[in-house]
Amino acid sequence: MITIVLSLGLGLLPVFGSNSFSNKNEDDNQIYALPFTVEGILSYEDRNESTSFGRNYLCRVMDYDNNSSDDLLWEGETGRFGEYTSALIANFDNDGDDGNYLLDIYVLCRTRSTNLQQVVLHPTLRLPYGFSSQIAHDVSTSSVIRSIHVLNTDNRSPAMWIFEDMMRVYEYWDLFSGFDSAPVQTIWQNGINEYRGCLNTSCFISQTNSTYPVPEVFISDMRKTSKDTVVHELGHAYIYDLVGSLGTCDRPHSITLSSTLSCAWSEGWADFLPLFMNGDGCYDFELGPCSGYHIDLENASYLDLLTYFNHGEAVEGRVAGALYDLVDGNNESFDLVGLPLDLLVNILHSPPLETSFPVFWNNWIKAGNGYEMELDSIFFLNTVGKKIFLPLILEIR
Ligand SMILES: [Zn+2]
């Protein structure tokens, strides 16, 4: 426990309640120990091995003690560029056990934002991942610099990749959807590919119980390099927070295969969101974009062989391609519009709840959003929609 009482009427001299010093030297230490601030930058190696900044992490300045538990001196959240600056901290360690009363400090940042209600948790410890700076022993300056840089040789670094995916989705949803971002708890651990019934797959778990009182996103370790996988599961979480479940799948499902209208709609939405959030038209199961194991949804068309990519509204990849063509900026021969995301999300948000792509398209028309001819041409490309405006499309081509 630390007693911090800033000086009143004694200039820079701290005043220390009832402490009696054991000898003159320790007393002298205090006389020259000014209050100080701690600042630094949280950064890490991202999936591409470039340096990124850790934004919106909850960071703490801690006092390090050898024999007792460490003491909290300050806490706050990192800024957009990973920066943090503490408030002024009085330099007196009343449980110092290294021979003096000067603080020994370090910074500890966790994959958690209490402001935004986002966290990456370890599945069994049920704690966010923590990353610490080196200790500054016996602080004797008024400004301590302690930054943190996490390399990919640290096997916990993927928690930081995933946390940034969450921040990106949070930010873009807040900017473009017209609705509040969802609170999300994401589970990941190095080497772990199974969690609460999800075996060798990432998943969104809406069922809550006393052990897990909030819905959870699980990212299996085998897909940690795929930011599209992370945003896919976040897509389920966001829509669940907004309106509930869009549908379910009976069996394991695949982007390119026909399932049911409701499965293809629910999964198609979740396949679409990463294309929008991550900015390319491929769904990448690996690092990407459009390399390694991936499906190119932007360039898919009615010309695809059925053996490669099934056609129709019961195919999740077709639904995803259609939704992406609604909002992307790349207008191809048949793709004539780039509409704001909020038009799309508005339809999803307004009752009744759509449980298939055809119902969504009907409700879009009923809502009076327009662009029916143009949209139908997009949907023709993606083998979905009503296909009643084809003559116009073929003329344009
Ligand atoms: Zn899914």
Confidence of residue 273 (pLDDT cuts 50, 70, 90): very high
How many residues are listed for the chain in this entry? Answer: 397
User: What does the pLDDT look like over 104-146, one tens digit per residue?
Assistant: 999 999 999 999 999 999 999 999 999 999 999 999 999 999 9
Instruction: Tell whether the model's pLDDT for residue 17 goes beyond 80.
Output: no
CA 47 to ligand 1 center in whole angstroms: 22
Instruction: Tell whether the model's pLDDT for residue 35 goes beyond 50.
Output: yes
Confidence of residue 365 (pLDDT cuts 50, 70, 90): confident
On average, the pLDDT of the chain sits at 87
CA 263 to ligand 1 center in whole angstroms: 9
Beta carbons of 19 and 4 less than 8 angstroms apart: no
- The pTM of this model reads 0.88
User: What does the pLDDT look like over 45-104, one tens digit per residue?
Assistant: 999 999 999 999 999 999 999 999 999 999 999 999 999 999 999 999 988 899 999 999
CA 159 to ligand 1 center in whole angstroms: 20
CA 146 to ligand 1 center in whole angstroms: 41
What does the alpha-carbon distance between residue 397 and residue 389 come to, in Å, rounded to a whole number?
13
Instruction: Tell whether the model's pLDDT for residue 391 goes beyond 60.
Output: no
Beta carbons of 390 and 380 less than 8 angstroms apart: yes
Domains of the chain, first to last: 24-150 (2.60.40.3330), 247-397 (1.10.390)
Considering only the C-alpha atoms of the chain, give the largest distance between any 2 of them, rounded to a whole number of Å. Answer: 95
Whole-number percent of the chain with pLDDT over 90: 70
What does the alpha-carbon distance between residue 311 and residue 341 come to, in Å, rounded to a whole number?
25
